[in-house]
Chains A and B, each alone.
Chain A
Amino acid sequence: MDKYLEMIRIRFLMMLAYRTNYYTGILIYSINIGAYYFLWTAIYGGKEQIQGLSVVQMTTYVAVSWMARAFYFNNLDREMAQEIMEGKVAIELIRPYNYLGMKTMQGLGEGIFRLFFFSAPGLIIVYFIFPIQFTWDLSVWGLFAISIMLSFFINTELNLLTGITTFFLYNNAGLIRAKRVVIDLFSGLLLPISFFPGWAQTVMGFLPFQGISYTPSMIFTKGFSHDQAIAAIGQQFIWVIILMLPIYLLWHLAKKQLIIQGG
């Protein structure tokens, strides 16, 4: 266990060393939030609410979902692809730890760093620019915290899955890119799942993506009632468990047919 915690710490310190890269990151996210803010105010026009969300709630939704993204987002799939293609994965495999577990911990270190140095200041900046409503209800914050933790795990599991496919596809840059845009849409980052037509919502109910962004953002904006929030978190948790299965299977297969070229 110690070594995994150490890994989180090291990744955190590594990110801290390159923190200047993050100032423009905050700016980029603010620009995106701004674009969607104007778009949504135009979409609402004079309407009081759409699908039970008011304009203010919508703006909060956009801001929170982008800032939460800073926490759960990572490039583990690309890092894994790189390590597999360069043959570095061979050394990783003989090291006395679980490679996938280690990757997850690195992702977590990165996420915690961004939570403090990116999301928190970013949210404060955005708070002053756009009309956003924060709740001071501690139970909402608590549920939100649990929910983004689970978002992180679902997203990381999907990244690991994509990363493992490198063993079979050799070059999966296209797949990695495709996965990213699909997640942006189906996770509810660009627009709440409740805005989709009914049949699409039903389909997405069977997919893990909405657990990444929609659930925590809806909890934060109080778009969900307390019971709904609990149910949604339960769903996230089930997905975290279910997704372990294909990862385990593919990883097992991959190790068997692994060929290291050079390295």
Chain B
Amino acid sequence: MFYLSMFFQYLSQYLKTRFQYRADVFVEFFSDLLSQAINLIFILVVFGHTHLLHGWNRDEIIFIYGFFLVPFAVFSAFFNIWDFNERYIVKGELDRILTRPIHSLFQIILERLELESLLGAITGLAVMFYAGSRLHLDIDWYDPILFIVFVVGGALVYGGIFILLASISFWADARTSLMPMMYNISNYGRYPVNIYNQLIRFVLTWILPFAFVGIYPAAFFLEKQEWYWYSFLTPFIGIIFFVLSVIVWNQGVKKYRGAGN
């Protein structure tokens, strides 16, 4: 209960600051939209030269991309911790966090909210509806529920991986540029995994399970029966990775000794 009220407290503060700088929010949204448009243009141009990508057609690929945008938007809104090392460890800000009465990770998530990223979900939904209507997909009563479950699962996969990466800074002091690398790897999950070789497919499924953010859950809505098993695994993988990352985080906090002064 206390956590919930803290969340709303921070939320209202957050909204106040953002409405102070409305133009920035708008510009940011616009440049996000532009980069999404460019990814779509890429898909469109490529399918001007081929009809199938290992058995997936153009609208299916677009649908997968649209789906991917939704959990990614949720992740970017809440897990904005890619600069955790510089911001909290190097500058010693974590000392302040640890004196607060709520869980350190939760406190950081609250401080680093970036809710305008959620606008990306609207783009994602629009893309999905566009592709879905061209594919004549039916919407069953359980689809919206599963959609939410899969989106949360996908966002937790992302969140889990990035929290794990952030936790590394508790042990290794070196400035790592692992985060941007992970963003690049995560792009692999936007395309059907069967275009990759066995090794990459295995990595994307079990080690850095980015396939559970895009292709696997989207396959369910595309009625690709052979992938259903993976689709339903999405929330479980999400929860496993997230719980694991929180455990590692807690261990890391115990290990934390402060950055001097």
Contact = CB atoms under 8 A, between A and B. Distances in A.
B206 interface: no
Interface in B18-66: 23-24, 27-28, 30-31, 34-35, 38, 41-42, 45-46, 48-50, 52-54
Contacts of A50: 49-50
B52 A27 contact: no
Contacts of A173: 24, 27-28
B50 A25 contact: no
Given A174-B27, A174-B28, A185-B41, A51 B197 contact: no
Interface in B194-222: 195-197, 200
A174 B25 CA distance: 9
Contact of B184 (A32, A44, A171): A32
B139 interface: no
Interface string A194-214: 011100000000000000000
A178 B200 contact: no
Nearest to A27: B181
A107 to B, nearest CB: 21
Given A45-B52, A173-B27, A181-B35, A191 B46 contact: yes
Counting contact residues on chain A (CB < 8 A from B), the size range is: 20 to 34
Contacts of B38: 181-182, 184-185, 190
Nearest to B48: A197
Interface stretch (A1-9, A33-41, A229-237): A33-41
A51 B200 contact: no
A27 B179 CA distance: 12
Contacts of B52: 45
B31 A177 contact: yes
B144 interface: no
Given A42-B195, A195-B49, A182 B34 contact: yes
B185 interface: yes
Interface string A34-78: 110011011111010011000000000000000000000000000
Nearest to A51: B49
B242 interface: no
Interface in B126-166: none
B161 to A, nearest CB: 15
Contacts of A45: 50, 52, 54
Contacts of B101: none
Interface in B58-79: none
A44 B51 CA distance: 10
Given A28-B180, A181-B31, A42 B45 contact: no
Nearest to B192: A42
A43 B30 contact: no
Given A35-B187, A38-B196, A182-B34, A28 B50 contact: no
A24 interface: yes
Nearest to A179: B31
A31 interface: yes
A25 B31 CA distance: 24
A21 interface: yes
B121 to A, nearest CB: 19
A21 B177 contact: yes
A51 B49 CA distance: 9
Nearest to B30: A174
A178 to B, nearest CB: 4
Given A173-B28, A175-B27, A196-B45, 4 more contacts: A31-B184, A41-B195, A173-B24, A195-B48
Interface of B: 23-24, 27-28, 30-31, 34-35, 38, 41-42, 45-46, 48-50, 52-54, 175-178, 180-181, 184-185, 187-188, 191, 195-197, 200
The 6 closest A-B pairs by CB, nearest first: A174-B27, A42-B195, A181-B35, A24-B177, A177-B31, A178-B31
21 contacts: A24-B176, A24-B178, A24-B180, A24-B181, A27-B181, A28-B177, A28-B184, A32-B184, A38-B191, A38-B197, A42-B195, A43-B50, A43-B53, A45-B54, A47-B50, A171-B24, A173-B27, A174-B30, A177-B35, A184-B38, A191-B46
